[in-house]
Structure 1
Amino acid sequence: MRRILTRPLTFVLLAGLFVTGPQIGQAETQIPQSQSEISLGFAPLVKEAAPAVVNIYARIIRQDRNRSPFANDPFFDDFFRQFAQPQPRVQNSLGSGVILSADGIVVSNYHVVGEASDIRVVTNDRREYAAEVILADEASDLAILQLHNADDLPFLELRNSDAVEVGELTLAIGNPFGVGQTVSSGIISGLARTGTGGGQGFGYYIQTDAPINPGNSGGALIDVNGDLIGINTRILSRSGGSNGIGFAIPANLVREFVRQAQDGATEFQRPWAGMTGQPVDADLAEALGMARVDGMLISELHPQSPFVAAGFEVGDVVTAVDGEPVNSPSEMAFRLSVAGLGGQSEITRLRQGASATVQVALSEAPDEPASAPIQLNEQTPMPGLVVAQINPRVINRLQLPLSATGVVVLDPGPYAGRGGVQSGDIVMGVNGQPVAAPQDVPRLLLESGRWMQLDLLRQGKRVALRFRL
C-alpha cells in the first residue's frame, strides 16, 4: 500500500507563525489557534516521511598493493615493485537511502554503494532487505538500488527541484555517524551551487543549513509537504562535522536516473554537448556588450557537436536551457543530463547582442570514426594493453580535450601499467616512429630491440617512458 502525504501539514515557525497548504507557493501566514498547534512542530511530517528513508550497510572489496619497504628508495623501488602484489581489503560503508517506489527502487550516493559487493538495506521499522545496484554514475555521485523481494513499501514523491526557492523550510533525514535515523531542520540556503565537489565537473547542488553529517549521505532532503527536494551528498567542513553548509543533488536529476534505471540502462546516459565554456564575468560582459553578467561563453566546439549542427559558434553565449538559466559548464551539464537523450532542448543563445532560441538535438557522443579498440596479445611486449582511435565517444568517456586526435590508451594492462602507462594517455610514438592508428602500436612494439620507448601525451604534457625487454 502506497503511503504518501495526502493532507496539508501545519508547522510552527520561529515567532509563533506557521505555514499551511499543499504547496509552498500557496502558503499563508496565520496565528496558532491553540496550544496543540503551537506544540505540533514537524512531528506529523516526520511520521509520514521517515519510513521512506532507509539505512544502508555496504561492503566494498578493494585491491590494495602491499607497500614495499623500499618504496621511498629511488634505486630499490624499481626492483621490488613487482613483488608488491595486490591484496584484497574489505571496506565497510555506512549511509542512507530513499525509497522511491512501492516495489523497492531506492536512491543513494555512488560513494556509499557504487562499488559494493554486498548491500543490506534496513527500513525504519527494522525490516532488512538484500539489494543490488542497477544503475550507478560516479560523476554524478548517484546510484539506484533494487531491493529483493520487496513490495508495498512507503515511498517519497519527487518534487520539481527547479521550483525550490531560497528560504523554504526543509528537513534532512538520514543516519549520521551510525547512531540511527535522525531528523534535522533548516532552510534552503542557496541554489545552483557548483564547484563544491570532485568528480568530472558535474557537481550542481542545492545548499541547506539543515545539519548533515557523515552517514547522512544518500538521505532525504524534503520540503514541508514531504516531497523529496534532493539527495544529501556532501558537506563543506574542515573538521568533518556539520558547519551548516550541506549540499543535496536536485530531485530532477534523480528522476532521470530512476527513469533510465527502469528502462534497463546499465550506464547513465547524458547528452553530449561537444563544447567547452567559461562563466561570463564582468569583464567579458563588457567586452561582449552585454547588459547583464550572466550566461556561459562557448570557448571551443568539436566539429561533430550537435551545437555546431544547430548553428552555434565559438563566442556565442548560452544563457538558458529549456528556460532555466545557465551560468557555468557544470550547470550546462546538469541541464542536459536532466533533459535526457532522444529529444530536443531549447537553447537560448546570445550573439552580438541579439538573443535567439535554437532547438538542439540531444544525442550521445558519436562513435565516428570507429574507435576500433585493439587488445595486445601475449606475443607483444605489452600484453593486455588496449588502445583505440580517438573519436567523440572516446573523448567523452576519458574526458580528453576536444582537440585530441590519434590513438589513446583505454587500459594499460598489467605490464604497461607497472611501467607507468595510464588510461587516457595519447600514444604519440613508439621508438621514435609516429602512431596514427591502433594497429600501429603492436606492429611497432614487435619491431623493438632490447629497449623500447613510448612517447605519450598526458594532460597536455609530453611523457617519455623507456622499457628494457
Structure 2
Amino acid sequence: MKWVLLICLAWIGAAQAETRVPSSSAEIALSFAPLVQEAAPAVVNIYARRVVESRRRSPFANDPFFRDFFREFGQTRPRIQNSLGSGVILSADGIVVSNYHVVGQATDIRVVLKDRREFSARVLLGDEESDLAILQLEGAQDMPHLALRDSNTVEVGELVLAIGNPFGVGQTVSSGIVSGLARSGTATGNGRGYFIQTDAPINPGNSGGALVDMQGRLIGVNTSILTRSGGSNGIGFAIPASLVAQFVTQARAGAGAFLRPWAGITGQAVSADLAESLGLQIPEGVVVAELHPASPFVVAGLAPGDVITQVDRLPVNTPAEMLFHMSVKGIGAEAEITFLRGGLPSTVSVPLILPPDVPDREAMVLGRRDILEGLALARVNPAVSSELGLPIQSEGVVVTDPGPLGARVGLRLGDLVLGVDGRAVDRPTDMARALRRAAGSTTIVVNRQGRRVTLRFRI
C-alpha cells in the first residue's frame, strides 16, 4: 500500500511539474520559446528579383557557311531571376543585413516580416567578397531589431539558434552549438575569410538569417554550409557580427563600397614544419613572406620572416583571420600588432589605411584609331592591385577591360602586359603607341596569374 501511495504522489508531482509555469531563469532556459518570441520578429524573409542576360548558343556557330545566316540566333535576351533568402533587422529605422548572393544586383527587393507586413528595400552597401549586404527598408520605423554581440567574446560550445526561411517553407528555428571559430577557406558560397561554425541546421533559404545566442543577441549571419548532398550535414558557417557592425557603420556614412584596410603583405599560416625551421616551440601565427614598399607594416618596422601572432591582443593563425580583425576596426584606426623576430616578441602600432592610388593609374581606353578599340588599360599601383586581386609586387600595365576586340584576340581582365611585338611596355601610353605601330601579325605577351601567355593575331 505504501508503494502505491508513493507512486501516486510521484505521478501527481510530475503532473504538476508539467503544467506549472516556470518561475526562475534557470527553468526558463530549459525552453527556447521565450528567446524565440523575442528574437524571431527581427528576422525577415527576403524576395529579390534581378534581370540577367541569357544567351542561346547557335547550333551552327562552328559552321563556316551557315553561321552567318543564323547570326541573330545567339543574341542575349533579358531573363528575370528570383532569389529567396533571409535577413535580420538591426535598428528601429529599418537597417537590415543579408547576404550579397541573396540581394546583390537585384532590381526589386521585397522584405516580409514575421507579422506579414511587407516593405520595399534598397541596397545601401554590398560586398561580394564578404557576402554581406546592408539594406534600408522604405518607410520603416519602430521596427523590432536585434543587438549585435562582439564576436571576440563568442566561445566554442555555446548554445545558439539559427532563424531563417529554409526552402521557402516559412520562418523556422533550429538549435545547436558553436562548433568552431576562426574558420577560413572551408565554406562554399561567395563568402571569403573568417567564419563562425555551427551545427545548427542551415539549409537553402537560411542565407542571411540570424545566428543568435541565449540572450537573443546576433552573433553571426548565416551564409553557407559544407555539404555534398545540398542539405544540412551539421557544418554551417556564419559571418561574425563584428564585421556586420563595420558594414553598418560604413553604410550609414554613405560608402558606395566596403572599404578594407590595406596590409600590403603576403603571408602564410605557420605549419609544424615551418615552426621547426623558424625555431618556434609551437606552430602559431602568420609568417610574412613579402611586403610592398608602401605597406604600413614596413613603416612600423616589420620585415620578411617575421611571424605575426596577435592583432589587438587577439591570436591570429591565418592571413584571413588577420585581415578580419583589421577590417573590424576600420579605416583610420590603428591596430596593435604583436610579432616574433628571432623568437623574441615585439609590439607595434600599425595605421589602417586604404591602398594608395600612387603612382597615378593613368587609366585610358583605346579609341577608334586603335586596332583594339575599347581596350581599357591602367598603370599598376596598390589601389589597382587590390581592385583586381593582383600580387602585391605587380607592376607595369594591366588590362582593366579587354573590350570586344581585345577579348577576341585573347586578352582578359587582370592580364599584366609584358610587351607588344618585342617592345616592353611600362605605361598605358607605351602600349597604345606600340599597337599603333603594329602592322601585319602582332604579338602581345602577358602575365596571367603567374603564367606567361603569348597572343598572336593579324591586323
Aligned partner of 1:16 in structure 2 is none
Amino acid at match of 1:87: R
Aligned partner of 1:302 in structure 2 is 292
Counterpart among 402, 405, 423 of residue 415 in structure 1: 405
Counterpart among 305, 319, 340 of residue 315 in structure 1: 305
Deviations along 1:108-161, one digit per CA (max 9) or x if unpaired, are 001111121111111111111111111011111100011111111000000011
* 2-structure distance, mates of 1:317, 1:237: 34
Aligned partner of 1:158 in structure 2 is 148
Distance 1:457 1:79, change over 3 A: farther
Distance 1:63 1:170, change over 3 A: same
* 1-structure distance, mates of 2:374, 2:346: 50
Distance 1:367 1:78, change over 3 A: farther
Counterpart among 173, 177, 189 of residue 183 in structure 1: 173
Paired residue secondary structure (1:439): helix
Paired residue secondary structure (2:428): coil
Contact conserved, 1:156 with 1:226, CA < 8 A, in 2? yes
Aligned partner of 1:45 in structure 2 is 35
Aligned partner of 2:434 in structure 1 is 444
Counterpart among 233, 257, 262 of residue 267 in structure 1: 257
Contact conserved, 2:188 with 2:224, CA < 8 A, in 1? no
* 2-structure distance, mates of 1:374, 1:217: 40
Distance 1:341 1:332, change over 3 A: same
* 1-structure distance, mates of 2:283, 2:68: 57
Counterpart among 49, 56, 59 of residue 46 in structure 2: 56
Aligned partner of 2:126 in structure 1 is 136
Deviations along 1:23-55, one digit per CA (max 9) or x if unpaired, are xxxxxxxxx998433686111111111110000
Question: Does residue 455 of structure 1 match 2:455?
Answer: no
Q: CA deviation at 1:454?
A: 1.9
Larger mean CA deviation between 39-48 and 243-252 belongs to 39-48
Q: CA deviation at 1:77?
A: 12
Aligned partner of 1:11 in structure 2 is none
Aligned partner of 1:367 in structure 2 is 357
Q: CA deviation at 1:66?
A: 2.5
Deviations along 1:278-298, one digit per CA (max 9) or x if unpaired, are 111111111222122210100
Paired residue secondary structure (1:54): strand
* 2-structure distance, mates of 1:81, 1:325: 61
Question: Does residue 105 of structure 1 match 2:95?
Answer: yes
Deviations along 1:360-406, one digit per CA (max 9) or x if unpaired, are 01101101111110011122122221100011111111111122111
* 2-structure distance, mates of 1:407, 1:77: 40
Deviations along 1:390-449, one digit per CA (max 9) or x if unpaired, are 111111111111221110011112221233211100111222222111111222222222
The 5 A counterparts of 1:211-222 are: 211-222=201-212
Amino acid at match of 2:307: V
* 1-structure distance, mates of 2:407, 2:71: 11
Contact conserved, 2:187 with 2:225, CA < 8 A, in 1? no
Question: Does residue 390 of structure 1 match 2:375?
Answer: no
Q: CA deviation at 1:163?
A: 0.3
* 1-structure distance, mates of 2:286, 2:67: 47
Aligned partner of 2:10 in structure 1 is none
Aligned partner of 1:92 in structure 2 is 82
Aligned partner of 1:246 in structure 2 is 236
Distance 1:79 1:341, change over 3 A: farther
* Structure 1: runs of 5 or more not aligned: 1-31
Paired residue secondary structure (1:331): helix
Deviations along 1:295-330, one digit per CA (max 9) or x if unpaired, are 010011111111001100000000010111110111
Counterpart among 231, 241, 258 of residue 221 in structure 2: 231
Over alpha carbons, which structure has the higher Rg?
Answer: 2
* 2-structure distance, mates of 1:423, 1:262: 32
Distance 1:128 1:81, change over 3 A: same
Counterpart among 277, 281, 285 of residue 291 in structure 1: 281
Amino acid at match of 1:461: R
Aligned partner of 2:454 in structure 1 is 464
Distance 1:246 1:458, change over 3 A: same
Contact conserved, 1:138 with 1:199, CA < 8 A, in 2? no
Aligned partner of 1:115 in structure 2 is 105
TM-score (norm 2): 0.91
Percent of counterpart pairs with the same letter?
60
* 1-structure distance, mates of 2:386, 2:205: 32
TM-score (norm 1): 0.89
Aligned partner of 1:8 in structure 2 is none
Indicate the RMSD between aligned Cα atoms, in angstroms. 2.2
Aligned partner of 2:21 in structure 1 is 36
Contact conserved, 1:166 with 1:191, CA < 8 A, in 2? yes
Question: Does residue 282 of structure 1 match 2:272?
Answer: yes
The 5 A counterparts of 1:15-30 are: none
Amino acid at match of 2:216: G
Paired residue secondary structure (1:36): coil
Aligned partner of 2:9 in structure 1 is none
